[in-house]
Amino acid sequence: DAQGARVFSLTRSSFAGQQRTGAALWSGDTSASWDSLRRQVASSVAYQMSGMPYWSQDIGGFFRPEDQYTSADYRDRLTRWFQFGVFTPVFRVHGYKTSTEIWNFGDEALRNINASAISLRYRLLPYIYSGFARVASEGYTMQRGLPMAFPEDQAVRSIADEFMFGDAFLVAPIFTPTPKGANETSREVYLPQGAPWIHFHS
């Protein structure tokens, strides 16, 4: 008897109205390239814009490079993918022919991913649970395309690489490699009109 049980269904197919079933969709078996990460950001926003609240991905990509455990580029990409994943409805890592436990990618990657992604996701759990209560009671989506939050701002209608996570967080994932010899990278971010923006980490 499933009445009252917390059933979880993860599928790679969906249909209009699927949100009524509570099933989660994931984006299928993606490659582990920087371009795939960029496209996952846009795909996640598009899916939420359709009104479906539960979306997931294979953090790190499903098909990974053979040198995944030793490649500095892949460790950088994996870290960025985890940082994006923090602000998606379902936070999960998965891959083909890989041991996805983060300690397999070296101490530095382990520290970076724990500090910048996993610890933050746990810190946000009360906020996330509150948001998903709204999903159940109001038809809300936790991850929100900018036009959903700022319908009067014409500029946000063409932005596919930024989104809101709940009502409080504007998220702009980094999906490009850290320049050689640099310790960090940056990107341009559009701040929609009509909100008093605060940098979360400051």
Whether residue 40 contacts residue 29, with contact meaning beta carbons closer than 8 Å, is answered with: no
Per DSSP, the three-state class of 156 is helix
pLDDT for the residue 4: 67
Describe the crossing of helices 72-85 and 34-49 by its angle, rounded to 10 degrees.
10
d(C-alpha 177, C-alpha 175), whole Å: 7
Is 70 exceeded by the pLDDT of residue 163?
yes
Nearest Cα residue to 45 out of 127, 162, 187, 135 = 162
Work out the number of other CB atoms within 10 angstroms of the CB of residue 98.
Answer: 18
Is 80 exceeded by the pLDDT of residue 2?
no
Q: What confidence category does residue 142 fall into, taking pLDDT thresholds of 50, 70 and 90?
A: very high
pLDDT for the residue 25: 86
pLDDT for the residue 1: 53
| pLDDT digit string, tens, across residues 104-122 | 999 999 999 999 999 999 9
* Biggest CA-to-CA distance, the chain: 58
Angle at 134 between CA 11 and CA 93, to 5 degrees: 35
d(C-alpha 100, C-alpha 115), whole Å: 17
Sheet containing 143-145: give its strands across. 143-145, 163-165, 169-171
The residue that leads in pLDDT, 100 or 20, is 100
- Of 50-59, 102-111, 124-133, 165-174, minimum mean pLDDT range: 50-59
| pLDDT digit string, tens, across residues 14-68 | 888 888 777 888 888 899 999 999 999 999 999 889 888 988 999 999 999 999 9
Backbone angles phi, psi at 25, to 5 degrees: -110, 145
Token pair of 136 as six digits? 């159940």
Average of per-residue pLDDT across 147-171: 96
